[in-house]
Structures are given as structure tokens and as C-alpha cells.
Amino acid sequence: MDFLEKARIMDSARINRALARLASEIVEENHGAGDLYLVGIRRRGVPLAERMADKIADLEGDRPPVGVLDITLYRDDLSTVGAKPIVNRTELPGDIESRNIVLIDDVLYTGRTIRAALDQLIDYGRPRRVQLAVLIDRGKEHRELPIQADYIGKLVPTKKSEIIKVMLQEFDEEEGVVIVERPATETT
């Protein structure tokens, strides 16, 4: 797969600043960190949630609990994909009942991942409120479900042929966000 890098839209410092702003927005909206519970969506939502929890701890003194959601078993395309996607563990320590959950993912695109995450979350309990924070929002025109983010690191209008690649030091060699172009022959 030869992806063509078109633009570098965030570096490590910008990601850090965006997360700091999101953390303070989350704390402001939820009147502190008291009932907050962050849930990272595998894979890249998880380190983002951890970093966000650190920043909230810096602001408020309390570090909210961080859970990990693997949405594989809730995907709506399981019966159409060929090779079965790898199932990883979901870990939601403690109780999510009556908590203010903030779901965290790297990119919001069609909204289908978030739909799966919401369904899964409800199987674990009844949170008081669920909000969504993403590092990159690719824009409403790509949405296939009525789902919007409450906290957005950066809004990046993109074409369908483009892919947003979020690289984080926890998984990747470097850190940053780039737009790459998909080779014309491939389909979504």
C-alpha cells in the first residue's frame, strides 16, 4: 500500500495542546472531575484517554478512572468482513453506573465505531451521561449515523479518498497527524 502523504496537520506539541484544551473543556462542562470516567476506544483512543486523565489530574487534583473499550464484537460489519478482526479485552474497572462517561477516540468519521461503543457501554451499566471527545473530526458530511462529538481537538474537512493517520508514541515511531491519499484503485 503506497499512501501519499498530503499534509501534516499536527505535531507532538499541537496534539499536547489540543489535549490540554479538551481536558479543561471537559472539566468545565462537567463541573469538576468528581463523577468523570474516561473510556478510551481501542487502540489509539486508549493512550489519548490516559493522557487526558493526567491533564485532568493536573487541573483538578483528582485523576478520573480510565476504561478501555474493544468494540470488535459490536461492529455492524462483522458478517461482511472476511477474516475475523482480532478481539481484544475490554476493561472497565469499577462501576460505570451513574458516572459521567467521556468516550475518547482518535478520529470521528462515519460514526459507526461510536454507535458500537455506545451499545457496548450500555451493556455494562447505565451511565448518567455519555459524551464524546475526539482528537480529529473529519466533518459532518461523512457521518452515516446521527452522532456528533462534544469535544473536538481539530476539525479537518477531508475527502472520502483521504485517510487521517494519527500516530502516537505508544504505538508508532513518531507522533503526529497526517492526511494521506488512498491509491485510486482501492475502495472503502
Partner 1 sequence: MNFNRKHLLGIRELEASEISHLLDTADSFRDVSKREVKKVPALRGRTVINLFFESSTRTRTSFEIAAKRLSADAINISVSTSSVNKGETLLDTARNLEAMAPDCIVVRHAMSGAAHHLARMGKAPIINAGDGSHEHPTQALLDALTIREYKGRIEGLKVAIIGDALHSRVARSNVHLLTKLNASVSIAGPGTLVPDEFAELVDNGLRVERRIEDAIEGADVVMILRIQRERQQEAFFPSMREYAVHYGLRMDHLKRAAPDAIVMHPGPMNRGIEVSSEIADSSRSLILDQVTNGVAVRMAVLYLLAGGARNDADEKGH
Neighbours of 105 (CB within 10 A): 28
The answer to the question of residue 86 lying near partner 1 (CB under 8 A) is yes
The continuous run of DSSP H or E covering 59 comes out as helix 45-60
Q: Name which position in 52, 64, 96, 113 contacts partner 1 (CB under 8 A).
A: 113
The answer to the question of residue 123 lying near partner 1 (CB under 8 A) is yes
54/63 Cα distance (integer angstroms): 7
CB of 58 to partner 1, least distance (A): 29
Our measurement of the distance from residue 16's CA atom to the centroid of its chain's CA atoms, rounded to an integer in Å, reads: 15
Q: Is residue 13 classed as helix, strand or coil in its secondary structure?
A: helix
Place of cell 474516561: 38
CB of 175 to partner 1, least distance (A): 19
* CB nearer partner 1, residue 63 or residue 65: 65
Separation in Å, CA 59 to CA 46, 101, 177: 20, 18, 26
* CB nearer partner 1, residue 33 or residue 166: 166
Please, which of residues 16-55 interact with partner 1 by CB under 8 A? none
Q: Name which position in 2, 61, 79, 173 contacts partner 1 (CB under 8 A).
A: 79
150/142 Cα distance (integer angstroms): 17
Separation in Å, CA 122 to CA 40, 128, 153: 15, 11, 26
Please, which of residues 134-163 interact with partner 1 by CB under 8 A? 138, 163
Please, which of residues 52-71 interact with partner 1 by CB under 8 A? 70
* CB nearer partner 1, residue 18 or residue 134: 134
For partner 1 (CB under 8 A), the number of binding residues is 34
Q: Name which position in 6, 21, 75, 159 contacts partner 1 (CB under 8 A).
A: 75
CB of 63 to partner 1, least distance (A): 24
Place of cell 468528581: 34
The one-character DSSP state at 8 is E
The answer to the question of residue 182 lying near partner 1 (CB under 8 A) is no
123/168 Cα distance (integer angstroms): 30
What is the contact surface with partner 1 in residues (CB under 8 A)? 70, 72-75, 77-91, 105, 107-110, 112-113, 119-120, 123-125, 138, 163
